[in-house]
Structures are given as structure tokens and as C-alpha cells.
Structure 1
Amino acid sequence: MGLLITCTLVTTLYATTMTIANVSLPQIQGALSAGPDQVAWVVTANLIATAVTIPLAGWMSNRFGRRRVMAIGVAGFAVSTLLCGLSSSLEALIFWRVLQSGFCSPLAAVAQSVVIDEFPGEQRPRAVAIFMMGVGIAPTIAPLLGGYVCETLSWSWVFYIMLPIAILAFFGLFIFVRPDPPRAERAELDWIGFLSLVVMISSIQLVLDRGEREEWLSSLQIVFGCFCAVVSGWIFFSHSLTKERPLIDLRLFTERNFVLGILIHGIFGMLFITPMVLMPSLLQQLQDVPEFEAGSLIAIRGFATTISMLMMVWGASKWDPRLLLLFGFGTHTYAGLTMAGFDMNTSFLEVSWVMFAQGFGVGCLWVPMTLVTFSNLALDRSAEGAMMWNLVRSITSSFYVSLSFIVIFHTQKMSYSELTQWIIPFDNRFEFGLTQSFWNINEFSSLMQISNEVTRQAANIGYINVFHLFLWASILAYPLILMISWPPRGDKSQ
């Protein structure tokens, strides 16, 4: 149990760092004099660094041993987290966030492989359920905690409060996790594969993040980014298919359930992180909700996840994982339908219920996704499989968050232009009735108020479009779930 708790704490560090700063973005933006798209790099830089360093998890485990990798990662995470809180400029904060993510991103994959190896057979579903509570609950509780300390202290404390967890995890590694010898025969790093993967992911992320501002292919920078992504992608895949021991062994994708599990997990990555990034921004900027209230709304999702994860501890070995997956993605479809109908007058109760439903579905997805993905994978491939599992989720999360911001900004510009066409001096609504009492188009102050309101409404349309994308993304998972080949209970160990 000590080993399981330690691995859960280690993974909690990785999961918490993804979302705890989201609710403090408006305060960071004001404190460091940054624009909305600039401060978004506090999130996207974290996701990029996570995506490009996760592939190193398998190589580092083979080269140095899993306990040593986790210990170095936790120590580096603690130092970089402290320096994040001490940052006095946006550039410094982004730099330390990159290092923070670089140190902690391999932790989840390595800890997951330890749990899978140490708890085989019938013990695995319950152990995985407890372990996944750290992955599933921490990112949803983090905004509440971050909102509280941000409101009562300052944004720096959203980083400081993670240090005690890092210290506990560090000492727990040396007490409960057995040292494992390095595997020298697989210790060579595939530099070509690693560098081409880094360039490919970074180029795509750069294109997505800066494309809207630079007017896409009208900018040489975006054209060059697309060129780099295509060339590096071709190098990576051709090299991985021909090298004997590549960075990512694509032969893993010959196993049916592993492929389906990875694809489903990739879709889940898009759905899991997006509301936690967008909801605080929507509530704070469009409805003037305080940081703590915004965090508490998302924490309701964490409470629901806790309930369903506890149910998984008891029932994961009894229920067909395909049914659990259908139910979990069904709650996301319902959430997408409801969020697509949000407006400026959406009540606290409505948002709370949607967050609860989605959170309950999240808890129902983690365990069956893990069991399906690793059901037929050999134990000696678990480290590589766990690395790929976490890599795909990080990539899809990063790209989808960037795509969401693109939709919001593009829709906001288009909607603002369309809405302002209806604000003309000859509109009788500005001459008579209630509108005249607070909006007089002959006064500059009233024109500013009208402009601000149109901006808010245009931004709200952008969020609604993102929630429509969320809805369709959840539907993509259904045919994949139906293709899963699940053996009868007792025929094959899970």
C-alpha cells in the first residue's frame, strides 16, 4: 500500500501542474502585464514540454532505473516549482514552467509502469483504480485550491503549495519503492527519433498558437512551421519504422486493444483538460466570477470524479470495461450538449450540474481505458506502453487547447464585426424605452459600454462553438469502443 500511495503522490504532481495555474491566469496577466494570448503560454508551454519529454520515460527507465528517474524528477520538479513562484516576468515564468514540466512529465508513465508490474492479475483493477485517483482527481481539485490561494494570497502561491507533496513523494520513493537495476542492453537513446519528434510537436504547436495572430499562411513564420512539421514528421515515422530499437517502437501498434485504447485515450485527452482551461476564463472574464468561485465550480467536477473512482475500486473487476467507456463518454456528450447552450445568464446550479456529470464520467473512464490498453501487452513492454499512453494524451490535450483558443479568438472577431452592424444611430431601440436609460449612442461613455458588451457577447459565441467541438469529439469515441475485443472473465489475465 505504501508503494501505491507513493506512486499516486508522484503522479499527482504531474496531474496537478497541468491545471492549478489555470484559474490564476487573469491575475498573472495583470501582474506581469501580458496579453490574453501571451499568458496562455503559461498553459501551452507546460503542455508542449510535457509532450516532448514523455518519450524519454522509457529510455531513462532502462538507462538509470525507475526509482532513480522518479527521484530526480521529483527533486527537479520541486526546485523549478519554487522558481516559478519567484518569477518576476512572463518570460521567466514560462521558462521555469517548461523545466517544471520537463522534470515531472516522465513521472506519470514511470509510476504507472511500476504499478502495473507490481500488481498483476486480479489485483491490477483495484490498484489501477486507486492509482488513477491521483491522475483523475488532482487536476479537478487543483483549480479550487489554486483559486483560494490566488484570491487570499497571490498567484505565486499556486506553485508554492505543491512543494509539500513533492517532499512527501521524494522520501516515499526511497522508503517504499524497490531499486531496480538499469537495463544496459536497451540504454541507447534514439537521438534522431527524439529530435525529430520534438521538432514535429513544437512546430505544430507553434503553428496552432500563432496562426490566428499571424494570419496563417500569409506569414512566412507559419509557412516555415508547417514545413518543419511535415519534414520532421516524415523523418520520425520513416526512421521509427526502419530502426531496430527506435525511441517509440511502432510495433506496439500491432496489438488491437492497445491501438484502440490509445486512440480512445487521445480523445479523452481532448475532453479532459479543455473545460478546466476554459471554464475559469469564461466565468471570470464574461461573468466577473471571483477566482475562488470559479475554482469551486470546477472542484465540483473533482468531487464527482472521487465518487466514481471509489466505485471503480470496488466494481472495476466486475463490470465490462466497454460498458463503462460508453457510459463515461455518454456523460461527456451530455455535458457538451448542455455547455453549447450556455449564455450570460447561465446559473451557478446549471454549471455545477454539468461539471458534476462530466466529472462522474471522468472517473468512470480512467480504469477501463487502462485495463483495455494494457490487457494483452507483455509486462516487459509496460514502460513503453505507459509512455505512449501519456504521450498521446499530452499531445491531444495540447493541440486541442490551442485549437479551442483559435476558435474563440476567430469567432470573437467575426461575431464582433457582425454584431456591430446592428448598432446604428437610426435604430429606434437607442432612442426610446429602457435601452436609452443606460445606453445613449450620443455619449462616448455609452459607446464604450456598448463596445464592451458586444465584445462579451462575441466571446461567448466563441466559447459556444468550442463546446460544439467538444460534443462532436465525444461522439468520435463510440465506434472505437464497439471495436474493442474483450476476453471473457477468467480466460485471460487483465
Structure 2
Amino acid sequence: MSQPPAPPGSSGSPGTTAGPAGPRPSGPPGQPAAPAPLHGAQLALATFAVALATFMNVLDSSIANVAIPTISGNLGVSVDEGTWVITVFAAANAVSIPLTGWLTQRLGQIKLFVGAILMFSLSSWLCGIAPTLPILLCARVLQGAVAGPLIPLSQAILLSSWPKEKSSTALSLWAMTATVGPIAGPALGGWITDSYSWAWIFYINIPVGIFAAGVTWMIYRHRESPTRKLPIDVVGLGLLVAWVASLQIMLDKGKDLDWFSSPFIVVLGLTAVICFALFLVWELTGENPIVDLRLFKQRNFLGGTIAISVAYGVFFGNLVLLPQWMQEYLNYRSVDAGLVTAPLGIFAVILAPVMGRVLPRSDARIIATLAFVGFAIVFYMRSKYVIEIDTWHLVLPTLLQGIPMAMFFVPLTAIILAGQPPHKIPAAAGLSNFVRVFCGAVGTSIATNTWNNRTVLHHERLTERASINNPLFNQQIDSTQSLLHLNTQSAHALFDFQVNTQAAMMGLNDIFFISAIIFILIIPLIWITRPGKGGGGGASGAH
């Protein structure tokens, strides 16, 4: 997003060959030492290829946002159902993240990274050729699952390629690439959708992925990390998949099936609760848990993870709704909706280097608090939107949102990792990323359902007096007929359209206002954490 997480575990971790955003491993005695850093043109090409894989992944998480109405129309489904294209990707991605460390130690860092890129390219092709929504969703699940290792391994590979004293430069380049995705994604997705076909938002991953995989393999195939066979927590993984999938399907299908009046939704809800409870018990008592839940006993990890996850869920849910509203109710083309949301990353890119210098000398809790206040101000500004809004007033809050974005991820990641022993950092980074990404999927589903419910509520209130027995209503219909030369049926249809548009606007304003309140309410979570030693707010714990 605005900047990568602080380099988890840069101090090293004996016996750790990989982990989410892990460092260049030193390995225990008797195991191969870390390969020497790359230099010159080889380093530049390697950095470009690895960062390109990150760009492809980040781009795909936002490029589909503006295409949802078009995809839904072409596949003959509602926009709400089309939103599943986003949520199932995020849910599958979240589930696969905890597996990164285990897969790396079984397959090796480079083989896993290259394999994930190639599988991502294949799944992108399957998304593009999907003739129906169920097939597209299956392809997106595969795409999200294989994307899990890409971001953590890209950081680890870059850190192993650059000299230790230049690791901050490596991560800055990584951050710039990751930040360009949210900027380019909506605009590029809108242009492709309008000019060609929505399928090409997936097809463009294929040449990018093949190039990135080929160059990475060519340069790194002789720099593979050590491997060893480790047991996998099959029961924990099964329970994790079961409760995540049940909860996500329940949230996505609940509105269509009238929630708990449907036996299917009741079964899903019970399955999610039971599997989650069993998951907690199993992971807290198992010998080789797939997720180390004991990390939540630490104050910094608990407060920081909940804060960053809730904030990301609110942020991402709104990021999905905004272009949908512009296309459905303001008649914006996909490309125009993308251009309106693109300025989100401008300030994030500009301020990223500044944050890299400021954070080590500051209290990360203060910076994160300012970020949350900034988000609250932006969402409050949006809660004042009106139907007649011009493009500038749509762009302004999006542009300003880049400022808190630059102050958001890195300080909170520093807080989460502050004080973690080196061998715990990969697990801590992996678990916090799992919770954050999953909350992004849940946040999208909740935001979509809440917008629909608030729109229905406002529609009912606006039409309470819209009756043929109301003289004022009849007078309004007569005036519309006279001014626009419409028959009675067309005048009623126009009135209903105007009411729907106003109700949707009021419902969206409610979402924005609630989002602003949530950002203020979660600020205390930041302050239950402890500042890091010798640095601001935990920065030292991450470096």
C-alpha cells in the first residue's frame, strides 16, 4: 500500500529460511550461509523482476473494483453478487498467507516464489475466459490462494539481494512498486474495461508474470534457500478454511437469502462459529500450530493487529463502494471512476521516503493516531456528498486520503513487531497479515450489505407520502408530466428513479459517517501498546 511493512526480522532468525516478509537468513550452524548480495545490472534486473511480481499482485487487488458493474452485467448477475469477485480473492489470499513459512521450508524460497507467479498467471487466464460467475469465482479463489506467498517472499528475496546496509533502499523501491498499484489499478482497469473487455484486466497479468518468473528463475535459481520436511497442521488448516469460507459465504449470500430466515445461512453461521471455536482450541494446544495464537497475549501485537485490521477493513470496503456508486448513480464510465479514485496514492508515494526518515525518531503511536484522525476527516468530508456533486469534490477527499495512507501501515507494523524475539517475527508478521487481509474481505461484504440496507431504509422513508391519495404527490407528478411531456407511467418511473438515486446517496453518506466514527473509536487500541525501546513507538522492534 503506501509503504511496505517495516522489515520484519532484519536482525535474523536462526533456522528460519523464510517467513512473511522475512530477512536474509543466516541459518543455524552446519547449514549454508546466506548468499552474497547481487551487484550492478544483475541487481537492478533482479529488483525489477521481483518488484514486478509484487506490482502484479497489488494491481489485481484494486483493478477489478471499477469493473464490477461491467462484469456483473456481462455475466447476468447483480452488482452485489459481482462484488464476490473481490471478497473471495481476499479471503483465499488470507487463508494462504499462514502457509508461506511452511511451504518455503518444504520447497525453497525461489521455487515457491516462481511457482506462485506462474500459478497466478494461469489463474488470471482462467479468470479471463470464465463464462459464468461461479467459474470466475473459482478462478479467483485459486488466484487469491497462490498470491499469498508473493508479497512476503518478494520482501525476503529483495533483502537477500541487497547489501545489509542498503536494505532500506531495497524496501523503498519495493514500497514504490507496491504503492503504484492502487494508483494505476482503478484507472487502468477502467480504461481496459471501456476500451476492450473486462477479461483483459486479468489477461495483462500473463505476460507480466511470465517475464517476472523467467528473470527471477534465471538470476536466483542457484541462490535457493535450504529446505527441510516439517509436519503441517492439517487439522488446523482444515478448520481455518472451514470457518473462513463459511463466514465469507454467509456474509456474501445473507442479503439474497434473507439472512437467518434461510436454513442455509443458519447452517453456515453455525459452521463458522463451531469451526472457529475448535480452531481456537486446537491452535492453542497443538504442537505445530499453523497460526500461533499465543501472540495475542502480547499487548503490542493485540492492539496493533486489531487496529490495523479493523482500519483496513473499513478502508477497503469503502474503496470498493465508491466506484460502484459513481458508475451506477452518477453515470461515470469505468475509466472515469478509475481516474477519480486514482489520486489515492499520490501523496502516499510522495510521503513514503519522508516517513522512512521520520518514523525511527518518532513515537509510532502518535503517527498512527494522526493517520486515523486523517482517515476520519476524509470520510466525514465524503459523508457530505450530494447527487449534484462535481468531479473535483469527488477527487479532493481521495487525494487527501493519501496522506493518512502514508502514515498508516508502517507505524502500525512497527508497533505489532516491537519487542518480538527474532524467531517470533515471521509468525507475528504472518498472523497480523492474515487477520488484516481477511478483515478486508469481511469489510467489503459488510459495507456492501450495510449500504443496501441503508438504501432500502431511506427509500422507505422518502416514499412514505408518495401515494395517489396525497395531493402534493399528485401535484408533483402533474408538474413533471407538463414540464417533460411524459405520460403518467413515465412520470412515476422518473420519480422512482430519483428516489432510488437519493436513497443510495443517503445510504452511502451513512457508510462514510460510520467509517469516520470507527476510525476515531479504534484510536485507543493504539495506546494500549507500549513504545519501543530507544525508538518511537516500537520502531526499534521492527528493525
More deviation, 214-223/256-265: 256-265
Query: Partners of 2:276 and 2:168 in 1: how far apart?
Result: 36
Query: Partners of 1:378 and 1:183 in 2: how far apart?
Result: 23
How many pairs were matched up? 492
Query: Partners of 1:411 and 1:274 in 2: how far apart?
Result: 15
Please point out which of 388, 393, 401 is paired with 2:431.
388
Instruction: Answer whether contact 2:317 2:445 (CA < 8 A) is retained.
Output: no
Deviations 1:8-32 (A, max 9, x none): 3332232222111111111112212
Deviations 1:195-219 (A, max 9, x none): 1011111111122112222222211
Matched, 1:324 2:367: yes
Give the equivalent residue in structure 2 for 1:427: 471
Residue identity in the other structure for 2:509? I
Matched, 1:367 2:417: no
Give the equivalent residue in structure 2 for 1:49: 92
Gaps of 5+ in 1: none
Instruction: Answer whether contact 2:481 2:488 (CA < 8 A) is retained.
Output: no
Query: Cα–Cα, structure 1 residues 321 and 173, in superposed 2: closer, same or farther, change >3 Å?
Result: farther
Query: Partners of 2:118 and 2:92 in 1: how far apart?
Result: 17
Please point out which of 61, 83, 86 is paired with 1:40.
83
Residue identity in the other structure for 1:444? Q
Deviations 1:350-402 (A, max 9, x none): 11110011122112222222322223333333332232122111111111111
Give the equivalent residue in structure 1 for 2:376: 333
Query: Partners of 2:204 and 2:389 in 1: how far apart?
Result: 32
More deviation, 268-277/149-158: 268-277
Deviations 1:401-441 (A, max 9, x none): 11111111112222222222222333336527964544789
* Aligned sequence identity (%): 27
Give the equivalent residue in structure 1 for 2:286: 243
Report the Cα offset of residue 442 of structure 1. 6.3
Query: Partners of 2:497 and 2:203 in 1: how far apart?
Result: 36
Residue 351 of structure 1 aligns to a residue in which SS? Answer: helix
Please point out which of 37, 51, 59 is paired with 2:102.
59
Deviations 1:21-52 (A, max 9, x none): 11111111221211222212211221221122
Report the Cα offset of residue 240 of structure 1. 0.6
Residue 360 of structure 2 aligns to a residue in which SS? Answer: coil
Give the equivalent residue in structure 1 for 2:394: 351
Query: Partners of 1:234 and 1:462 in 2: how far apart?
Result: 34
Matched, 1:71 2:119: no
Residue identity in the other structure for 1:201? V
Matched, 1:227 2:279: no
Deviations 1:91-122 (A, max 9, x none): 22222111111111222233345556778987
Report the Cα offset of residue 310 of structure 1. 3.4
Residue 248 of structure 1 aligns to a residue in which SS? Answer: coil
Residue identity in the other structure for 1:98? V
Matched, 1:24 2:67: yes
Report the Cα offset of residue 244 of structure 1. 1.4
Instruction: Answer whether contact 1:216 1:222 (CA < 8 A) is retained.
Output: yes
Query: Partners of 1:171 and 1:317 in 2: how far apart?
Result: 37
Query: Partners of 2:305 and 2:57 in 1: how far apart?
Result: 19
Residue 341 of structure 1 aligns to a residue in which SS? Answer: coil
Residue identity in the other structure for 2:278? I
Query: Partners of 1:120 and 1:368 in 2: how far apart?
Result: 24
Please point out which of 473, 478, 500 is paired with 1:455.
500
Matched, 1:488 2:534: yes
Matched, 1:443 2:488: yes
Give the equivalent residue in structure 2 for 1:190: 233
Query: Cα–Cα, structure 1 residues 299 and 476, in superposed 2: closer, same or farther, change >3 Å?
Result: same
Instruction: Answer whether contact 1:126 1:312 (CA < 8 A) is retained.
Output: no
Report the Cα offset of residue 221 of structure 1. 0.8
Deviations 1:293-347 (A, max 9, x none): 1000111112222112233344443443223212222211111111111121222
Instruction: Answer whether contact 1:438 1:446 (CA < 8 A) is retained.
Output: no
Give the equivalent residue in structure 1 for 2:9: none
Give the equivalent residue in structure 2 for 1:469: 514
Residue identity in the other structure for 1:452? F
Query: Cα–Cα, structure 1 residues 361 and 122, in superposed 2: closer, same or farther, change >3 Å?
Result: farther
Query: Partners of 2:238 and 2:227 in 1: how far apart?
Result: 23
Query: Partners of 2:316 and 2:180 in 1: how far apart?
Result: 12
The 5 Å alignment of 1:260-339 reads 260-339=303-382
Report the Cα offset of residue 58 of structure 1. 2.0
More deviation, 254-263/71-80: 254-263
Query: Partners of 1:188 and 1:113 in 2: how far apart?
Result: 23
Give the equivalent residue in structure 1 for 2:201: 158
Query: Partners of 1:437 and 1:89 in 2: how far apart?
Result: 45
Query: Partners of 2:362 and 2:162 in 1: how far apart?
Result: 19
Report the Cα offset of residue 126 of structure 1. 5.2
Query: Cα–Cα, structure 1 residues 437 and 226, in superposed 2: closer, same or farther, change >3 Å?
Result: same
Instruction: Answer whether contact 1:143 1:295 (CA < 8 A) is retained.
Output: yes
Query: Partners of 1:116 and 1:381 in 2: how far apart?
Result: 18
Give the equivalent residue in structure 1 for 2:254: 211
Residue 346 of structure 1 aligns to a residue in which SS? Answer: coil
More deviation, 74-83/14-23: 14-23
Deviations 1:217-242 (A, max 9, x none): 21111111111011101110100111
Query: Partners of 2:137 and 2:405 in 1: how far apart?
Result: 29
More deviation, 340-349/433-442: 433-442
TM-score (norm 1): 0.92
Query: Partners of 1:123 and 1:368 in 2: how far apart?
Result: 20
Query: Partners of 2:485 and 2:435 in 1: how far apart?
Result: 53
Residue 454 of structure 1 aligns to a residue in which SS? Answer: helix
Query: Partners of 1:133 and 1:35 in 2: how far apart?
Result: 36
Report the Cα offset of residue 259 of structure 1. 2.8
Instruction: Answer whether contact 1:255 1:376 (CA < 8 A) is retained.
Output: no
Residue identity in the other structure for 2:533? P
Report the Cα offset of residue 462 of structure 1. 1.9
More deviation, 382-391/285-294: 382-391
Query: Partners of 1:162 and 1:199 in 2: how far apart?
Result: 30
Residue identity in the other structure for 1:224? V
Instruction: Answer whether contact 1:430 1:436 (CA < 8 A) is retained.
Output: no
Matched, 1:98 2:141: yes
Query: Partners of 1:265 and 1:292 in 2: how far apart?
Result: 30
Gaps of 5+ in 2: 1-42
Residue 54 of structure 1 aligns to a residue in which SS? Answer: helix
Matched, 1:181 2:226: yes
Query: Partners of 1:288 and 1:349 in 2: how far apart?
Result: 16
Query: Cα–Cα, structure 1 residues 11 and 256, in superposed 2: closer, same or farther, change >3 Å?
Result: farther
Query: Partners of 1:41 and 1:492 in 2: how far apart?
Result: 39
Deviations 1:39-89 (A, max 9, x none): 122112212211222222122122212222111110000111122112222
Give the equivalent residue in structure 1 for 2:36: none
Query: Partners of 2:128 and 2:496 in 1: how far apart?
Result: 36
Instruction: Answer whether contact 1:325 1:368 (CA < 8 A) is retained.
Output: yes
Please point out which of 127, 141, 148 is paired with 2:191.
148
Residue identity in the other structure for 2:471? D
Residue 317 of structure 1 aligns to a residue in which SS? Answer: helix
Please point out which of 240, 244, 257 is paired with 1:201.
244
Instruction: Answer whether contact 1:429 1:436 (CA < 8 A) is retained.
Output: no
Query: Partners of 1:421 and 1:205 in 2: how far apart?
Result: 35
